Homo-oligomer: A and B are copies of this chain.
């Protein structure tokens, strides 16, 4: 492709994205295609000859776009959000253009030092204690794995890196914890049987007393408790594990405390919500994802540690071909995680924070919380519905409940969700809470306004009337 063709196509693509942002509501939120629909539209063999960008782009619109689910749609209320923003897209564009691979300081000093500074901005923005060091990971799954590995090494005096895990370490989290911890305990070699699921209270938050009982019981049985994962904003219900009592228990028993605030960390931008992190100064590591709710496009997960030396010692490698003359004076982030290669991800984050300012980001989050509270009020005000968890932040968990038995209620609400999502303008997802099929509505898209939330509720109530009638 000639440079002038890149220029022309680039302008066209930027305009297409701007139009896409403007016209998003014309699309159904979720792709309507069936499995295999895309595959059969794409040739099974690669093209021998290159072709002009115009044809490729036409196929992007014709073949691929119908298969895209529109995460940036204001009617996206599913999972957790992964919102982007114009500023973030622009930052990512420059990152792609520069094409710098930022594994060590030397391979782009700006990437290493901007990452250090902008992560410290984030630390301040959500009220984390001074002295924590930050690094960008791709996802919270990876960050939590880093925490589990650091805890493993700390608990074994760095012996498991040498010999494998020879002593029976144990890991603790609430029974509402995210599946990334299940995955992490397998990867890091603890084994699933080492993972203790601690009961939760009526708000689905970990019960500290139950945690301490488990730690004591395991200690007496010859296990070595290595790591507790506390969640601020669980995926199923948005529950807030109480960090302070959990942290005090961890300190008392010498156990690593990792805090997973992947989604909810962004809410701590608001002084009035900072209570969710009360006690976070007792944590050894902490993760939240600007790529979820802080308009920084995926992937960008912010991982903070109290003691970077432990993290680096867990991962460090020293091949000759990676040594540089300044290694003693700089941070080489290659040793702060699993991957060697690194994208210049701090750039989009810097664009976002400067473009919005802290107050701009706060305003967005505050509005999302107001809208979620509206939905909560509507659920509570309609006798057909039942709220299934406290609404602490932007997630509302509810179901229809007309008194039929639990199995039938689960069937009914599954049908309800299918009907809601079949309509097109909104997308919600589900979970189970104490065995109850639960519909989740998360407010968190950048462009979601009150009219979208009202529209979503109209879809929900119309679908409810239908399934109750059927």
Contacts and interface: CB of A to CB of B under 8 A. Distances in A.
A51 B351 CA distance: 10
Nearest to A325: B418
Nearest to A329: B35
B139 A164 contact: no
A440 B321 CA distance: 9
Q: Interface on chain A toward B: helix, strand, loop, or mixed SS?
A: helix
Contacts of A330: 35
Copies, count: 2
B340 A39 contact: no
A18 interface: yes
A1 B355 contact: yes
A164 B30 CA distance: 40
A370 B42 CA distance: 34
Interface string A75-96: 0000100111111111011101
6 contacts: A10-B93, A14-B93, A38-B113, A64-B110, A139-B339, A179-B317
Contact of A89 (B6, B329, B347): B6
Contact of A79 (B33, B188, B321): B321
A307 B189 CA distance: 22
Interface in A36-92: 36-39, 42, 44-51, 53, 55-56, 60, 63-72, 79, 82-90, 92
A15 B108 CA distance: 22
B96 A92 contact: yes
Contact of A190 (B68, B107, B164): B164
Interface residue range, chain A = 35 or more
Contacts of A7: 14-15, 18
Interface in A202-250: 235-236
A285 interface: no
A117 interface: yes
Contact of A86 (B6, B82, B122): B6
Contacts of A17: 6, 10, 93-94, 97
A50 B182 contact: no
Interface string A320-335: 1110011001100000
A18 B9 CA distance: 11
B353 A47 contact: yes
Interface string A417-459: 0100000000001111000000010000000000000000000
A9 B85 CA distance: 13
A236 B101 CA distance: 18
Contacts of A165: 164-165, 189, 191
Contact of A46 (B10, B125, B141, B163): B125
Given A120-B44, A165-B189, A321-B430, A49 B10 contact: no
Contacts of A468: none
Nearest to A168: B164
A466 interface: no
A329 B34 CA distance: 10
Given A33-B109, A139-B341, A187-B187, 11 more contacts: A10-B15, A31-B108, A35-B330, A48-B359, A63-B110, A72-B99, A88-B96, A164-B168, A236-B321, A299-B343, A338-B338
A20 interface: yes
Contact of A10 (B18, B183, B190, B191): B18
Contact of A109 (B38, B160, B179, B193): B38
- Give the interface centre of A187, A191, A321 by most chain B CB atoms within 10 Å: A321
A360 interface: yes
Contacts of A50: 354-357, 359-360
